[in-house]
Amino acid sequence: MLGEPWHRIISITSTDPDRSPARHPGGDYALDRGFRGIAWTSAALILALVAYIIVEIGGKALPAIAEYGFGFLTSTTWNVQEGHFGILPEIWGTLYSSLLALILGGVFGITIAIFLTQDFLPSRLAVVFRTIIELLAAIPSVVFGLWGIYVLIPMLRPAANWLHEEFGVVPFFGTSLSGPGLAPAALVLAIMILPTVASISVDALRQIPYKVKEAAYGMGTTRWEAILKVMLPTAGSGILAALVLGFGRALGETMALAMLIGNSNQISLSLFAPANTLAALLASNFPEAGEVEVQALMYAALALLAITLVVNIVGLAAMKFATRKFEAER
């Protein structure tokens, strides 16, 4: 290449046939372009896939949207014989169970992350612990469901019924737990989102440079003051991301919930009442659904998709805001 006068090879990546890289002995540029092509195609395929899914579900849901309109989202009956479809109880159940799971899983996940990163454990033990928690994510949903039915519900029932008898006036304990219900479902959900929340929070806390910790102790903080007043706020946007992802996971979780929540079309504040979620509704009704019900289910799927999308967008915006406000130069 260097043997040729340089002006004849002004551009080695040019597509001009006169100076094309085809004359160039190395295959580097072809490889370069090839890789770029693959990367672009993959990215475009993902977009196309998402668009296709939305269009397809939307298309199938179209008759139901035309038929039931906005009332579908605010009506509370699901009666196939009479052709009445409404998903308000499912929307409520989805949000309520996910919120409970987020509170429980969030508190435990963040606590575990603090425990694993702030020198409470020798680092080798912390790695072992973290691996075990991440293994929780590998347990199939249906196994969690079975565990819930055979272990968790019988375990919860005496406590739940005692709470109902003693504090029945409190809306949260307004009913007794007779089997599947919101409480066992939310508990299992909390366990299922725990690995997500914990491991992303661990990463966020671990990314904090040592100098920040030094600054905190240098100001004369105790260990807990350093953690609560400096480390957690510093990792704030990362922990927020952990919670958003955990919440997103909880919203979409299907199998364990279909087994545990009771699939009952009602809106109740009570933790022990059976309820239903959108994902569970889809899973349990699809197998035997006729044409009209399938259209309604597609509409419900679209609603679930919209909820997760909104949650993720709001979460991303909150994270952006937190990052811009407090971590300007990081």
Applying CB under 8 A, the residues found at the interface with other proteins are: 209, 211-222, 225, 229-230, 233-234, 236, 325-330
In the complex with other proteins, the residue whose CB is nearer, 167 or 321, is 321
Q: Under a CB-based contact definition with an 8 Å cutoff, are residues 95 and 185 in contact?
A: no
Query: CB count, 10 Å around CB of 89?
Result: 22
In the complex with other proteins, the residue whose CB is nearer, 23 or 325, is 325
Give me the least distance between CB of 232 and other proteins, in Å please: 11
Give me the least distance between CB of 326 and other proteins, in Å please: 4
In the complex with other proteins, the residue whose CB is nearer, 232 or 279, is 232
d(Cα 181, Cα 200) in Å, to the nearest integer?
29
In the complex with other proteins, the residue whose CB is nearer, 25 or 218, is 218
Closest-CA residue to 93 (of 258, 302, 244) = 258
In the complex with other proteins, the residue whose CB is nearer, 220 or 290, is 220
The Cα-based distances of 112 to 188, 201, 202, 247, 271 in angstroms read 17, 9, 8, 18, 25
Task: Kindly write down the DSSP assignment for every residue of 89-136, as one continuous string.
Answer: HHHHHHHHHHHHHHHHHHHHHHHHHHHHHTTSS-HHHHHHHHHHHHHH
d(Cα 247, Cα 196) in Å, to the nearest integer?
10
Q: Under a CB-based contact definition with an 8 Å cutoff, are residues 107 and 197 in contact?
A: no
